[in-house]
Structure 1
Amino acid sequence: MKILLLSHAFNSLSQRLHIELKRRGHQVSVEFDINDAVTQQAVELFQPDLIVAPFLKRAIPETIWRHHTCLIVHPGIKGDRGPSALDWAILRGEPEWGVTVLQANAEMDAGDIWATVNFPMRAVSKASLYRNEVTEAALQGVLLAVERMGQESFNPEPLDYSRPDVKGCLRPLMSQADRRIDWQQDSTETVLRKIRSADGFPGVRDEILGQEVMLYDAHPAAGLRGEPGSLLGRSGQAICRATLDGAVWIGHLRDKQGPHPFKLPAMRVLGDRVADLPELADGYSDIGYEERGRVGYLHFPFYNGAMSTEQCNRLREAYVQARGRDTRVIVLMGGPDFWSNGIHLNSIEAAESPADESWANINAINDLAREIITTETHLTVSALRGNAGAGGVFLARAADQVWARDGVVLNPHYKDMGNLYGSEYWTYLLPKRVGAERARRITQGRLPMGTDEACELGLLDDHFGQDSGHFLEQLRQRADALAEGGDFDQLLQRKVQARHADELEKPLEAYRQEELERMNLNFYGFDPSYHVARYNFVYKVPKSRTPVTIAEHRDLSRRSNPDWSKAS
């Protein structure tokens, strides 16, 4: 079947659908919904059997939905309508929510229902729900709808609010007034729900010490209390603010009127206003360590998977400390939503010299990678519960084993960020693991990759676990088996010998310097592509066109193939 994904952005959901539909043999192309004319042109070029819209901000033109089956992926239960579906579900504390796949018609979100999949809610941010539960439910719903496309006996269900299983309703766009925090009256749970309902967009408008900011990245501050609304202290870059019955940590802010009107760590945004805040012991930390038997687990749930220079340095120090423990295996856990996405583009954009900060950041992440690669006392595992991109993928490959949860999406390439060359010792790690030809395919492809393909290519060593809970359970069993196995000493010795042999053949430092020579041109050379691409990414500049890497219908080399017009 020829399926056109019509999307506002190629985000985690649309990437997952792209991967899974292609894996099932469908011919899939993507078009960004820029305007009616562009969308109409894409339909005429591709002639799809089905149009799936997983992430739209406006209605599909009538000229399209009247002549093509168009399925909307709506993040709400049956009957739910409106642009703030997940926001309202979080704010209202719904115990269960869902995704509905419905057919586009003249009325937004009111078309016939092709599939619906529900899931239990977690007390996490909207962005986390979207990347996990919503994405999994949407995938199930779309696959079910695609299957039903081929069933002549299937008829989609008209929206009927008199049915007992239709429990949703039409809700308006959630406003800042709906999310407004009353620090004198709101409980910790209420404050968390309000901020989580707006994370990562649009944030909750608030005022801190006379500065108007948008709030993101909120966490409970266990055991802390104070005058409601007052700032109690700091922990690293996060600030602690008192609620009616406790307190919350706020990790990130955005000052729309400031010199850098994008998300940054809270302390950085507030600056001198909070210079005297006390550092609170046992406060919120974006790095954590735990031990289970002879296995150490190093957690680093960095916000959106971005790793600043300072975070890379702290993580390297934490890794060195973990390596000094009396354990046998170190598992690098990342976070539940992202393992890592590499260098921190927002912090770089906000620096006095983005080029200098880019250089510092790539060297800091390289220092961390080198510590992992040269570890001779432990076996190491990168455990990917969440997605990984760019340098984060190759940082994970620095470990001896890379295991991922089923459904994780990898973007193992740098080129979309202004044709970056990349570092993290990838020129050593990747060809050594997968061979030169596969390394070229992986880094030049510019396409998201699922766990099946990543394992086939050797980028991953294994994938398992249908969700985060099952993954963690199996991960611990496998890590324990690795640590307690009778062949542990032999595996460690073989690893050390291989590393020494590789060093004699070509030192790690040589790979690093060769990579950094290319990166130096990206950061300081005459071609500004990286700086332009970073600016567009950080400031969320709308796309003016869809890249031909995903818009197959706009790739002239593909269209010249006589099989183009045939469904796969």
Structure 2
Amino acid sequence: MPQRILLMSSAPNAATQRAALALGGHGHQVRTAVVADAADMARAVAANDFDLIICPYLTTAIPADIYQHHRTVIIHPGPVGDRGPASLDWALTEGHTRWGVTAIGAVAEMDAGPIWAWRTVAVQYPQTKSTLYNTVIADAAIECILETAAHAEDPGFTPTDQADAPRPVPGARTRPPMRYQDRQVPWTAPGATILARIHTADGSPGLRAELAGHTFHLYDAHPGRNQVSAEPGTIIGRRHHGIEIACGAKETIWVGHLRARTRNSTTCKGPATSVLAHLGVDLDHVPVAEGFDDDIVYHRDGDIATLTVTAYNGALTTGQCHRLADALHTADQQDTDVLVLRGGTGHFFLTGIHLGAIELAPDPAAEGWDNIRAINRVCYALLNCRQITIAAITGNAGAGGVALPLSADVVAARRRATLSPAYQPMGLTGSELHTLTLPHRVGPATARELLETAQALDTTTGHEIGLLDHIGPDDNTEFDRWLDELAHRYATGSLHEQTLHRKAARLASLAKPPSAYEAAELAAMAEDFFADRHHFHSRRQRFLRVGPGTHTPRRPHVLAGH
């Protein structure tokens, strides 16, 4: 018998969205409550309209009067026997190659309750905490959540006492919170050491470090050069929005995003050069260096070309949009038959314009305007490409990140991806030619519903309504092989000819040119940016302060989730 399930979460993040979609897909009735404290939890359970409480992302301890009267299960991002609020931080710091997820009944002692379900996963390196959580850990969590719901339907099921449960990961134990001192590493350390420390804190809280006379949290780090003679901890290069920092062993690293700590406040997380400019740090004397170009990579294999874009947390800066549009134009000039636009191996595909860069700009409205017009260049380049275009959504996508791939001829997605098409939660009406491409795929009524209800979709639903053409596997190697096979199918034979015919017919049937759709969208967006009619600026600031879906928790009873 399907269960009535209350999902209790500290934020409306990707983990909770995915759990709700998975449970609903299995016939359960799901209600989600976002709670900040015990009072919120009391209000959430007052209606008593549920059979089971599952907490996929919770940073606040559950009061005894809730778990003593209601079946309450915590999803913990650690294997059986692991306890503590910094599970993934310690797992990566200690270099574990196997980890896990456990569904634990809530009791007074943290993470000590009986076990409803558990899974183990392989951990590959290099690895960032946010990507680990949002991929294999999230996959295992969904399996545990579905198994927990199935057990709740069985009146004969009894969860297993931890003392009697298997311990599949050696060394699982109680660990304390991870403190600043536990992460600390000097700039004189080798670049690989510093990179690994940044990776363990990526998402939240970031690696705290002193740089250019200020205190920052570092994110989005990549290997740099060797044999560089410079004082460790100094900025010696810049390129696009990234900065190159000297380390020990004559090495460097690149850092793409920062969050600044000042005496009275902190900035939002944003592009490194934007954060530094916001603090008045002059980078004009820093030379432009090679080495921060791997966010947009072109590869050709015979008749198939692939353009891979990797945007941190899925957000595209104005500069990235222009570079991606230029790359698409260049790719269109080649003699290939199929062009694949795909994301990287991270947990996000695209989420549209870069809210952090907009917030940090001297004139946020003007920066938002520039950013949306730049991302529209990408959509035009995809829409007008002479080749067959395949957009491959490799991770979660939101707002403009859902609309942008719809300009392609074929849209595919990794199975685990969650799609959130609506712009409205951020106080925007949106652009990216969505008024042309979204109704074309799903029909005007469904397009309106997707934009107005602000509901997330799983890929199965996306395929059923016509938003997606194909769904691929989750494993990176399997997905890459599947996508390559898909591209080759569209490169030859009748499917190639049929797709080219549909492409030409699609553009020929338009009642008005794409520029007319864009003009109407931009007229509305001008009101959003400059008149702030839907409170974009306050909503953006609130979102950036609370943190997006990649924020990972540091307190008890959690599965952490931009």
Deviations 1:69-95 (A, max 9, x none): 100001111111111100111111111
Matches within 5 A, 1:141-290: 141-160=144-163, 165=168, 167-184=171-188, 186-221=189-224, 223=226, 225-227=228-230, 228-245=232-249, 246-257=251-262, 261-271=267-277, 272-290=281-299
Q: Say yes or no: does 1:458 pair with 2:460.
A: no
Please tell me whether the aligned partners of residues 260 and 350 of structure 1 are also in contact (alpha carbons under 8 angstroms): no
Q: Distance in 2 between matches of 1:156 and 1:348?
A: 49
Task: Indicate the larger mover: 150-159 or 437-446.
Answer: 150-159
Q: Distance in 2 between matches of 1:501 and 1:153?
A: 60
Decide whether aligned partners of structure 1 residues 46 and 230 sit closer, same or farther in structure 2, where only a CA change above 3 A counts.
same
Corresponding residue number in structure 2 for 1:395: 404
Q: Distance in 1 between matches of 2:57 and 2:167?
A: 28
Task: Indicate the larger mover: 153-162 or 309-318.
Answer: 153-162
Q: Offset at 1:363?
A: 1.2
Q: Offset at 1:57?
A: 0.9
Please tell me whether the aligned partners of residues 275 and 360 of structure 2 are also in contact (alpha carbons under 8 angstroms): no
Matches within 5 A, 1:440-455: 440-455=448-463
Q: Distance in 2 between matches of 1:147 and 1:541?
A: 32
Corresponding residue number in structure 1 for 2:383: 373
**What letter matches 2:113 in structure 1?**
G
Corresponding residue number in structure 2 for 1:506: 512
**What letter matches 1:57 in structure 2?**
T
Decide whether aligned partners of structure 1 residues 154 and 99 sit closer, same or farther in structure 2, where only a CA change above 3 A counts.
same
Q: Distance in 2 between matches of 1:273 and 1:510?
A: 41
Q: Distance in 2 between matches of 1:316 and 1:364?
A: 8
- Give the secondary-structure state (helix, strand or coil) at the position aligned to 1:255: strand
- Give the secondary-structure state (helix, strand or coil) at the position aligned to 1:192: helix
Q: Offset at 1:193?
A: 2.0
Q: Distance in 1 between matches of 2:206 and 2:469?
A: 38
Q: Distance in 1 between matches of 2:75 and 2:389?
A: 40
Aligned with residue 309 of structure 2, among 281, 300, 303: 300
Task: Indicate the larger mover: 241-250 or 93-102.
Answer: 241-250
Corresponding residue number in structure 1 for 2:556: none
Decide whether aligned partners of structure 1 residues 199 and 530 sit closer, same or farther in structure 2, where only a CA change above 3 A counts.
same
Q: Offset at 1:163?
A: 6.1
Q: Distance in 2 between matches of 1:18 and 1:6?
A: 11
Q: Distance in 2 between matches of 1:416 and 1:282?
A: 36
**What letter matches 1:269 in structure 2?**
V
Corresponding residue number in structure 1 for 2:479: 471
Corresponding residue number in structure 2 for 1:556: none
Corresponding residue number in structure 2 for 1:118: 120
Aligned with residue 421 of structure 2, among 409, 412, 418: 412
Q: Offset at 1:526?
A: 6.0
Corresponding residue number in structure 1 for 2:552: none
Q: Offset at 1:303?
A: 0.7
**What letter matches 1:292 in structure 2?**
D
- Give the secondary-structure state (helix, strand or coil) at the position aligned to 1:474: helix
Decide whether aligned partners of structure 1 residues 199 and 526 sit closer, same or farther in structure 2, where only a CA change above 3 A counts.
closer
Q: Offset at 1:333?
A: 0.7
Please tell me whether the aligned partners of residues 329 and 483 of structure 1 are also in contact (alpha carbons under 8 angstroms): yes
Q: Distance in 1 between matches of 2:186 and 2:532?
A: 51
Q: Offset at 1:244?
A: 3.5
Q: Distance in 1 between matches of 2:354 and 2:106?
A: 38
Query: What percent of counterpart residues are identical?
Result: 38
Aligned CA RMSD, in angstroms, stands at 2.2
Corresponding residue number in structure 1 for 2:557: none
Q: Offset at 1:445?
A: 2.0
Corresponding residue number in structure 2 for 1:356: 366
Task: Indicate the larger mover: 45-54 or 275-284.
Answer: 275-284
- Give the secondary-structure state (helix, strand or coil) at the position aligned to 1:249: strand
- Give the secondary-structure state (helix, strand or coil) at the position aligned to 1:288: strand
Please tell me whether the aligned partners of residues 402 and 460 of structure 1 are also in contact (alpha carbons under 8 angstroms): yes
Please tell me whether the aligned partners of residues 304 and 338 of structure 2 are also in contact (alpha carbons under 8 angstroms): yes
Q: Distance in 2 between matches of 1:316 and 1:442?
A: 27
- Give the secondary-structure state (helix, strand or coil) at the position aligned to 1:141: helix
Corresponding residue number in structure 2 for 1:430: 438
Please tell me whether the aligned partners of residues 209 and 273 of structure 1 are also in contact (alpha carbons under 8 angstroms): no
Decide whether aligned partners of structure 1 residues 438 and 177 sit closer, same or farther in structure 2, where only a CA change above 3 A counts.
same
Q: TM-score, normalised by structure 2?
A: 0.91
- Give the secondary-structure state (helix, strand or coil) at the position aligned to 2:519: helix
Q: Offset at 1:194?
A: 1.1
Higher RCO (CA < 8 A, seq sep 6+): 2
Task: Indicate the larger mover: 329-338 or 50-59.
Answer: 329-338
Deviations 1:313-356 (A, max 9, x none): 11111111111112111111123322210111111111222222
Aligned with residue 67 of structure 2, among 61, 65, 68: 65
- Give the secondary-structure state (helix, strand or coil) at the position aligned to 2:30: strand
Please tell me whether the aligned partners of residues 249 and 284 of structure 1 are also in contact (alpha carbons under 8 angstroms): no
